[in-house]
Structure 1
Amino acid sequence: MSDVEKPTAKPIRVVVMGASRCGTLGVYTALKTLGYTPFHMYEVTFKNGDRELLKLADAIEAEQHRGVVPSIDLDDLLKGYDAFVEIGSFFPLTTLHRYLPDPDVKWILTERDPASWTRSIDETIGDVYRACSSADARVLGLFNPWLGLMSRWLEVVFKRWGGKRPGEPGLSTAMQSSFLEYNELIKAKVPAERLLTLKLEDGFAWDEICEFLGHPVPKEPYPRINDKAMFKTMTSGLIRDHKLTAVKRITALLTPIIGVAAYFYWSS
């Protein structure tokens, strides 16, 4: 969608402010079942391309480190969607600035135990960062910029939650503190009657979500997806494909050079 004209704008009706690894992909899938057109980081990582990833990284740094609000044009980013999940946690002040004045927007906050959250982040997003910033990935990144872009993006995300890079001492403690502060900010700013707070450890269910949003309960079970195994399968395949693309480009570059060298060697 980044390389073509986006569809006509829709009014945003649901903002899900849960951070990554707080059941957001399940909520994203649930909203689609209820008839919404939601935006989630899945759209960026697997569908929309590199330019939106750069926009998001720049917006996080602008708000978190330079105090710029709004840090991104959400109307442009979300054109064609009527709900969004997860990305509001990256630049909460910008999101509140844009959508809190609209009384028709409903808000959902998904929470989980902070220690459990940091472990989950490290074992999923942290693994992707390490795979994209390893020595071989840095070399391959010269031939496929996506690897370097993903490494930069994830470093920005980690720094958003506590100001530290992956591997720095005190990262887990800083992330937990930032996570708690963020959740309290949302609960303090969004009026209680417009906010549904869900805790991952209690489990998410159709009943409370549908009652809050004013929808009948679907017959199908609530989506239980994006466990660690599924995340690793999705991301490892994506990284493998991008590394393979880099190898193919290296091979295409070296093959004629080797051919010319062999010709002169055997002709001499």
Structure 2
Amino acid sequence: MVKDQGLVLIGAGLPRTGTMSTRTALKQLLKGNIHHMATVLHERPDQHDFWWKAMKGKASTDDWVKTLSEYRGGVDYPISFFYKEIMEAFPDAKILLNVRDPVKWYQSVKNSILKISNTETSWPCSWFDFLTGRAATTELVIKLSTIVPQCSTQGLGMFGAVSAGEKEAVQFWNEHVNEVKSVVPADRLLVWEVKEGWEPICKFLNVPVPQNPFPRVNDTDEIEKARKGLLFFSWFFIVFLPSLLLLLAWYLEFTSLGPILILVTGYMVVIRLVKCVLREGHLNHGKSD
């Protein structure tokens, strides 16, 4: 049986390999929280300084232990990018390598997380992120997705390889998978696809097979829904609403500073309310996970 406390599983699989389904399954099997990019994006802004430190290569083994000991495991980036460092910090942890067809992986990254990242950094979404206090988180998540791993002979990170095209993306995929297989001892590694379901991973972790069906969390639709929502709100609050207020000021022939300040203050109050709603939504997202 796996230990009943601490981090016991390190996911070395790249994003878009069924990691959200895997996270849901592991929460049930390991009876605790599982780290994921969603943790960085929505749940733990207090960890952001640590991830910047890790990207600079300045995170010590004690830092890794302190940051991740509250989790039972982790999947997706940034965990799978730093899997070797985490293996050193947790030498008894097992390693799970999520895999899938590399061409389908390339298409999935291109049409989901890369697509929403490109949207988020384009105008007017970039201004909306700044005004609502999300710009720093967006910057961190994109940086974590573009850093170049040691195994990359192309000098490209994940987003860079996918942006370059299918050939470069598949090469990036193969180099990562081959590195994991060469670095991790065979008795600590499970190479696994989510379509295989409960049995291989339960055997690997030496835990009972649950009676319920294996979770299938297809978050591609949710990502696209979030992207379209971001576009809508960005255009509304950055373009349409300010234009409407300017038109109102022109129509009412505001010539003194007082009424103009009232309009500007009202706009900033609305933005502040939107910021609070977004923050509350992210907190609730983290609790529901």
- Equivalence map 1:139-218=2 (5 Å): 139-147=127-135, 149-151=137-139, 153-160=141-148, 163=156, 170-199=164-193, 203-218=195-210
CA shift, 1:69, in A, is: 7.2
Change (3 A) 1:73 1:228: same
- The answer to whether 1:39 aligns with 2:32 is no
Point out where structure 2 has 5 or more consecutive residues left out of the alignment: 150-154, 260-289
CA shift, 1:132, in A, is: 0.8
Separation in 2, partners of 1:27, 1:48: 20
**2:188 corresponds to which letter in structure 1?**
R
- The answer to whether 1:14 aligns with 2:28 is no
TM-score when normalising by structure 1: 0.73
TM-score when normalising by structure 2: 0.69
Residues paired across the two proteins, number? 241
CA shift, 1:56, in A, is: 2.6
Q: Provide Cα deviations, 1:38-74, integer angstroms capped at 9, x if missing partner.
A: 111122212223x5345435533x35xxxx6759932
Separation in 1, partners of 2:196, 2:235: 38
- The answer to whether 1:109 aligns with 2:97 is yes
Point out where structure 1 has 5 or more consecutive residues left out of the alignment: 1-9
Q: Is the 8 A contact 2:13 2:99 kept in 1?
A: yes
**1:46 corresponds to which letter in structure 2?**
H
**What's 1:5 paired with?**
none
**What's 1:129 paired with?**
117
Change (3 A) 1:216 1:246: same
CA shift, 1:135, in A, is: 1.7
**What's 2:281 paired with?**
none
Q: Percentage identity across aligned positions? A: 23
Separation in 2, partners of 1:58, 1:176: 29
CA shift, 1:230, in A, is: 3.0
Change (3 A) 1:81 1:152: closer
Q: Is the 8 A contact 1:118 1:176 kept in 2?
A: yes
Q: Provide Cα deviations, 1:62-103, integer angstroms capped at 9, x if missing partner.
A: 35xxxx67599322321421211123222233223323x33x
SS in 1 for 2:138: helix
